[in-house]
Amino acid sequence: MESTHDSMRSAIQWRKWRSLQRDNYPSAAAYIAAYRKQFDNVHRRRQGPSCFVAHWTLMKELEDELPEARCAIGYLNLHQDPEGLNHDTFVAHCDHMITKSNNPDLVFSNDSRGKERDAPCPRPRGSSSKRQRC
């Protein structure tokens, strides 16, 4: 059972997540990195459901502006149960999006829809050797 102290820390982490505002970040990469940091904090405390909800929100928000978010949304669609969310795979998705979003053509631009659509998506370990496409 979670202690009161752990519950309070969990609530603080959730509030930090909810307070992340995209306008406070210079690029999509910085915004995703901030979410990734919070994901790591919560993962360390084994709070799967909070991770799932927060990342689902982030990816849906970026879906139209950052094509790489579609890869992560596809991954989340396969794992509706937060317990099935693989930390390493999701971190790989975040790293993939951060790398791609450092391209100035992709940073918070609605006209980027469709660009880089064929970029390889990160895959869970143990997947086939063929690169999956977004």
Among 89, 32, 23, which Cα is nearest to 55's? 32
Torsion angle of C-alpha atoms 92, 76, 65, 98, degrees rounded to 10: -10
CA–CA dist 63, 72 (Å, integer): 9
SS3 23: helix
Please report, for the chain, the start and end positions of each structural domain, with discontinuous segments joined by +: 27-112
In angstroms and rounded to an integer, the radius of gyration of the C-alpha atoms of the chain is 15
Encoding tokens for residue 99? 């790398």
pLDDT at 75: 61
pLDDT, tens digit, 9 for 90 and up, residues 68-77: 666 666 666 6
List the structure tokens of 124: 């869970």
pLDDT in tens, 79-100: 555 556 666 766 777 777 666 6
